[in-house]
Amino acid sequence: MSTHHTTTTGHVPPTATLTRGPDAPGRALSPALLPATVLAPTVPLLDGRLVDYAQLDHAASTPALASVARAVASVTATYSSVHRGTGWLSRVTSAHYEAAREEVARFVGARPEDLVVFTRTTTDATNLLAGALPDATPVVVFDSEHHASLLPWDAERTHRLPVPHSPAQAVAALGDTLAGLADGPQPLVVVTGASNVTGELWPLEEIVGLARRHGARVLLDAAQLLAHRPVDLAGLGADWLVLSGHKLHAPFGAGALVGRADWLDAAPPYLAGGGASLAVTADEVTWATGAARHEGGSPNVVGAVALAAACAALREHRGAVEAHEAALTQRLLRGLRAVPGVRTLSLFGEDHERVPVVAFTVDGLDSHLVAAALSAEDGIGVRAGKFCAHRLVDTLLSRAGAGGDTAVRASAGLATTAEHVERLLTAVARLAAAGPAGEYRLREGAGWEPSVDPRTLEAALPW
């Protein structure tokens, strides 16, 4: 069966007029106000108290914005088939879907010719690009990357660079590697914007500039960065960017690959099926190009709208978000470093600029036990483990001289208050000095849990 390729673009009904009502996402707010997150319920402690949930696990998933919840409620009242329906609600839904694509492009500073391909997650978007690389494309990636950026590439064509000690060392190692690839196919450099383990910012301008000088292309993993700092894809000069909605205060299930069209248009469709195909006969298939080529099947319209709503809110209130998070980051770092027995992990040095993410260990305590005790005794949500960045965590633990093979990660954001940070610091100091107040057991497959837990898990089904 032969194949043909025809360029298509997203279709917005010519008569569609998109407006924002008084409660619509992206509405103007006072610059002093932060975008509100959906209010979390109180949580029970072992001593019987109910407390405000201290949300310090933003690096894993961010709570939804209130404007996102309103957008989801609004679009579920009207959504219908996208692009292939002639009914009025299909036309409305198609307009919403393409407007969401435009909002995401605006949010990341995409170039006019860049594609925005909606995916499920950052991992999904990165794997999409991995499947579109021309044959024999070498990939250069640091061992410090999240597994979503480290693992999708053909092992025989991948050049893994060791975890660097400094930005200068990272740039130097990359330059040496690219110089050695000068006579081969065009390389792809994969780099994160902010470490998902330590929150530290990578030297993106230097890395992208170096790649450009060596004729390489660049994929930016912006999953951990975009909720906290803006990205201008066009100004930076990177070729692609990947992101996830669930790290941007939108629900799970929506992400995007944003960037150049040429490799994507030349590759087989990511999902062969309706939407990606323009015409099918007994002898040939004509595939679409553009975003539609890799969005086969009925798209996640609600997810795309939720993602766009989050992007709009963050874009309009960047100043307030950054000021709020800068104060949290400073207090979190300073407070944890002052606790005897606590070791904070750093990639580039303790004073390196970062988003509000801090990984640490407590001498003599398993990190998973620390996380369990913070939850059960203080109502604090953190993460423990290796955070899908095993090579990096192993290296950082070794550098810090920490015992054990995992760490605790506290990550702040829009749902974090100053009281949450103070509660964490007080609780960590207590744990470092005297250990958990309660008795805990390590249960296979479940981790640490209170040996006696009077709480009843109330998880009423939402339907």
Give 408-420 pLDDT, tens digit per residue: 999 999 999 999 9
**Would you say residue 24 has pLDDT above 70?**
no
Record: fold of 70-316: Aspartate Aminotransferase; domain 2 (3.40.640)
pLDDT, position 175: 98
**Residue 23 pLDDT level (bands cut at 50, 70, 90):** very low
* Structure confidence at residue 381 (pLDDT): 98
pLDDT at 273 > cutoff 50? yes
Judge whether 311 counts as a catalytic residue. Answer: no
CA of 290: how far to CAs of 152, 178, 278, 328, 342, in Å? 22, 30, 12, 41, 50
For residues 369 and 385, what is the distance between their CA atoms, to the nearest angstrom? 11
Q: What are the DSSP E strand ranges found in 268-398?
A: 277-280, 284-289, 342-344, 357-362, 380-381, 383-385
pLDDT at 21: 38
Q: What is the pLDDT of residue 459?
A: 76
* 388 neighbors 146 (Cβ within 8 angstroms): yes
Torsion angle defined by CA atoms of residues 383, 399, 424 and 311, in that order, rounded to the nearest 10 degrees:
-60
Question: Is residue 266's pLDDT more than 60?
Answer: yes
For Cα atoms 310, 311, 315, give the angle at the middle one, nearest 5 degrees: 120
Q: How far is 26 from 24, CA to CA, in rounded Å?
A: 6
Cα-to-chain-centroid distance, residue 367: 23
Mean pLDDT of 147-153: 98
**259: confidence class by pLDDT, cuts 50, 70, 90:** very high
Q: Is 10's pLDDT higher than 70?
A: no
Distance CA 324, CA 333 (A): 15
d(CA 296, CA 84): 13
Residue 359 has a CB neighbour count (10 Å cut-off) of: 34
| Mean pLDDT, range 121-145, rounded to an integer | 98
pLDDT tier, 388 (very low <50, low <70, confident <90, very high otherwise) = very high
Q: Is 183 helix (H, G, I), strand (E, B) or coil?
A: coil
| Residue 457 pLDDT class (50, 70, 90 cuts) | confident
Is the pLDDT reported for residue 12 higher than 80?
Answer: no
The predicted structure's pLDDT at residue 462: 85
Q: Is the pLDDT of residue 389 over 60?
A: yes
The model's pTM is: 0.92
Q: With 0-12 CB in 10 A as exposed, 13-18 as middle and 19+ as buried, what is 39? A: exposed
Domain ranges of the chain: 42-58+318-450, 70-316
Token pair listed for 98 = 């393409």
Q: Which helix (H) or strand (E) holds 67?
A: helix 66-76
What's the token pair of residue 326?
């800068």
Top-level class of domain 42-58+318-450: alpha beta
What radius of gyration do the chain's Cα atoms show? 23
Task: Give the helix ranges, DSSP H, for 317-366.
Answer: 318-337
Q: How far apart are CA 75 and CA 77, in angstroms?
A: 5
Structure confidence at residue 9 as a pLDDT band (50, 70, 90): very low
pLDDT band at 169 (very low <50, low <70, confident <90, very high): very high
Cα 64 to Cα 307: distance, rounded to the nearest angstrom: 10
Q: Give, for 450, the enclosing helix (H) or strand (E).
A: strand 447-450
Helix axes 167-180, 204-213, angle to 10 degrees: 20
Other C-beta atoms closer than 10 Å to the C-beta of 457 total 6
pLDDT reading at 5 higher than 70: no
- 84-110: average pLDDT: 95
Structural tokens at position 94: 């198609």
Rounded to the nearest integer, the mean pLDDT of the chain is 92
User: Which entry of 201, 204, 388, 429 is annotated as an active-site residue?
Assistant: 388
In the chain, count H helices and then E strands.
13, 20
In this prediction, residue 372 carries a pLDDT of 98
- Max CA pair span of the chain: 74
Question: Using CA atoms, how far apart are residues 187 and 214, in angstroms rounded to an integer?
Answer: 9
pLDDT attached to residue 445: 84
Locate 158 and state its tokens.
């991948």
- pLDDT tens for 289-314 read 999 999 999 999 999 999 999 999 99
pLDDT(217) > 80: yes
pLDDT in tens, 420-450: 999 999 999 999 999 999 999 999 888 999 9
Q: How far apart are CA 42 and CA 418, in angstroms?
A: 17
Averaged pLDDT for residues 376-384: 98
